């Protein structure tokens, strides 16, 4: 065999390396699989570490273990303007007031849980639901303003008041309650708020507050008649308002409609009380004539003061209206085909709600002043009537007085009966027709994990951990094999050099 020179030996080595590279491509898949098998522990460790770190990060970043949600709808007059049933600014925040939360907790068995009303209150949040059309409207207005085609006032004038809200109860980590208990709590809070809303805005207690428990014995006979007429006026006014709200409602419990009660109260007023009035007037019945006259004189002074206030109020409002009318801006309207000195143009005053409000107030004050004057004239006639002597025998007066006392008791019972029937009818009206629709639950309470993307995040962490583990296993195998290859090549070259040196020697 011919001897090889050093150069030829190096060439042989290079060719052998090329041969190894070619065969390496053929066995690379096997090497990869083997590398993954050898590094399975490393891959598992990295995957577990990735999951643990992701879960720990979620736990630290999320202060709640779960979230209970419900959607409610508010449906009553004024909500479209952001107002409550009394015309004042509506505040959804009252849903988590201490009174509402405390009553909600009273109806729940919390067991050994130490949750407090404050724990619930501070973890309740509201999110208004805004329809897509409203969002697009606001977006369009913003674009028009930014383009300089409209001023900012156009956006300020456009205001949307939501009537649907998502109520959220966050289950804090430091509160020891289950998800089912959180669901029960939020349900109870909504029910408690509906009851609070009903008690706050229903006027079912108006009659009880306005009528009260009057003791007719404290009044003289003519005064009792006036008190009863006032009571009738209050009842009729109240029933009239309810009848305007819903003229077809009929209570299943009492079998009465508001109009039915009004007719019955009118009978008491036009028959029973008028009959009692006629007896009191015909026999000039009074417990103390001098005291009654002084009471009437004092009442006249009060009425005179009231009349003066109403007259001044009407005058002031009227003066304000005149000044406003004179300074009111006029609008020019073109009317095609109209031939006059203005060339087909007329001026019109722009209507203003404030002007209409002043006109109504002025008229109301004037009417009130006129009615008060009528009351004064009536009382003056009563004073004149009771100031004159009468020739009615005492026996007849005493008999009439007994009849009046019986009538007073009978009328009192009738009024109390109709007041009770009114309250029962109104309560059923609110419960079945009005306030059961004022606040509606649009969805049942749902409880979800605090981070609804937790599973997705953990899945991504698992995939990333797997990828990192595979990379680490392949890199470790490559590092190990490449180090061994370098060492073997170094030894091979060293042996070849020694052999070459020995041959040359």
| Positions in the chain whose pLDDT score sits under 70 | 1-28, 58-64, 132-158, 204-214, 323-355, 435, 449-454, 483-505
> Domain extents for the chain?
6-58+453-504, 63-201, 214-431
CB atoms within 10 A of CB 447: 17
Report whether 202 contacts 100 (CB < 8 A). Answer: no
The dihedral through the CA atoms of 93, 99, 100, 101 has a sign that is positive
Report whether 430 contacts 202 (CB < 8 A). Answer: yes
Check residue 205 and give its pLDDT: 62
- Per-residue HEC secondary structure of 105-134 comes to HHCCCCCCCCCCHHHHHCCEEEEECCCHHH
Check residue 358 and give its pLDDT: 74
CA distances from 344 to 154, 330, 340, 341, 350 (A): 31, 16, 6, 8, 19
Check residue 160 and give its pLDDT: 75
pLDDT tens-digit profile of 51-77?
788 777 766 666 667 889 999 999 888
Report whether 165 contacts 128 (CB < 8 A). Answer: yes
pTM score? 0.54
Token output for 197: 């809303």
Check residue 255 and give its pLDDT: 94
Check residue 67 and give its pLDDT: 86
CB atoms within 10 A of CB 241: 12
pLDDT tens-digit profile of 94-125?
999 999 999 998 888 877 777 888 888 888 99
Check residue 36 and give its pLDDT: 76
Q: Tokens 């009818």 — which residue?
A: 425
Q: Cα–Cα distance between 165 and 70 in angstroms, integer? A: 8
Q: Tokens 């006014």 — which residue?
A: 237
DSSP state of 268: I
Q: Which residues contact 82 (CB under 8 A, 6 or more apart)?
A: 89, 90, 159, 161
Q: Which residues contact 133 (CB under 8 A, 6 or more apart)?
A: none
């Amino acid at each position: 065999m011919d001897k090889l020179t050093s150069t030829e030996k190096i060439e042989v080595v290079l060719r052998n390396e090329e041969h190894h590279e070619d065969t390496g491509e053929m066995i690379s898949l096997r090497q990869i699989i083997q590398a993954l098998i050898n590094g399975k522990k490393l891959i598992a460790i990295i995957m577990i570490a990735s999951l643990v770190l992701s879960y720990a990060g979620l736990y630290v970043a999320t202060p709640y273990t779960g979230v209970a949600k419900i959607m409610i709808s508010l449906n009553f007059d004024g909500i479209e303007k952001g107002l409550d049933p009394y015309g004042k600014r509506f505040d959804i925040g009252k849903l988590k007031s201490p009174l509402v939360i405390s009553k909600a907790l009273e109806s729940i068995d919390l067991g050994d849980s130490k949750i407090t009303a404050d724990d619930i209150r501070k973890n309740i949040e509201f999110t208004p639901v805004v329809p897509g059309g409203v969002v697009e409207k606001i977006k369009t207005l913003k674009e028009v303003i930014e383009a300089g085609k409209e001023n900012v006032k156009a956006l300020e004038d456009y205001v949307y008041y939501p009537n649907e809200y998502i109520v959220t109860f966050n289950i804090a980590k430091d509160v020891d309650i289950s998800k089912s208990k959180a669901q029960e709590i939020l349900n109870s809070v909504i029910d408690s708020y509906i009851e609070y809303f009903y008690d706050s805005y229903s006027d079912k207690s108006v009659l009880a507050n306005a009528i009260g428990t009057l003791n007719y014995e404290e009044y003289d006979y003519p005064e009792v008649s006036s008190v009863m007429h006032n009571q009738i006026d209050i009842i009729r006014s109240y029933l009239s308002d309810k009848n305007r709200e819903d003229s077809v409602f009929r209570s299943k419990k009492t079998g009465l409609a508001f109009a039915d009660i009004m007719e019955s109260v009118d009978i008491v007023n036009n028959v029973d009380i008028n009959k009692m009035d006629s007896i009191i007037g015909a026999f000039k019945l009074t417990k103390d004539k001098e005291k009654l006259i002084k009471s009437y004189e004092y009442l006249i002074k009060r009425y005179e003061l009231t009349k003066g206030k109403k007259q001044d109020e009407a005058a002031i409002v009227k003066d304000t209206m005149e000044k406003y009318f004179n300074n009111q801006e006029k609008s020019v309207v073109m009317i095609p085909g109209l031939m006059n000195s203005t060339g087909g143009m007329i001026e019109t005053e722009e209507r203003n709600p404030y002007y209409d409000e002043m006109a109504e107030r002025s008229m109301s004050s004037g009417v009130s002043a006129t009615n008060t004057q009528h009351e004064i004239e009536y009382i003056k006639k009563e004073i004149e009537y009771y100031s004159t002597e009468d020739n009615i025998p005492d026996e007849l007066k005493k008999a009439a007085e007994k009849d009046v006392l019986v009538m007073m008791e009978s009328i009192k019972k009738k009024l109390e009966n109709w007041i009770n029937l009114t309250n029962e009818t109104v309560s059923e009206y609110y419960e079945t027709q009005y306030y059961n629709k004022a606040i509606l639950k649009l969805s049942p309470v749902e409880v979800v994990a605090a981070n609804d993307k937790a599973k997705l995040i953990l899945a991504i962490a698992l995939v990333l951990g797997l990828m990192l583990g595979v990379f680490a296993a392949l890199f470790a195998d490559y590092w190990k094999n490449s180090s061994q290859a370098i060492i073997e090549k170094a030894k091979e070259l060293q042996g070849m050099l020694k052999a070459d040196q020995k041959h040359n020697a």
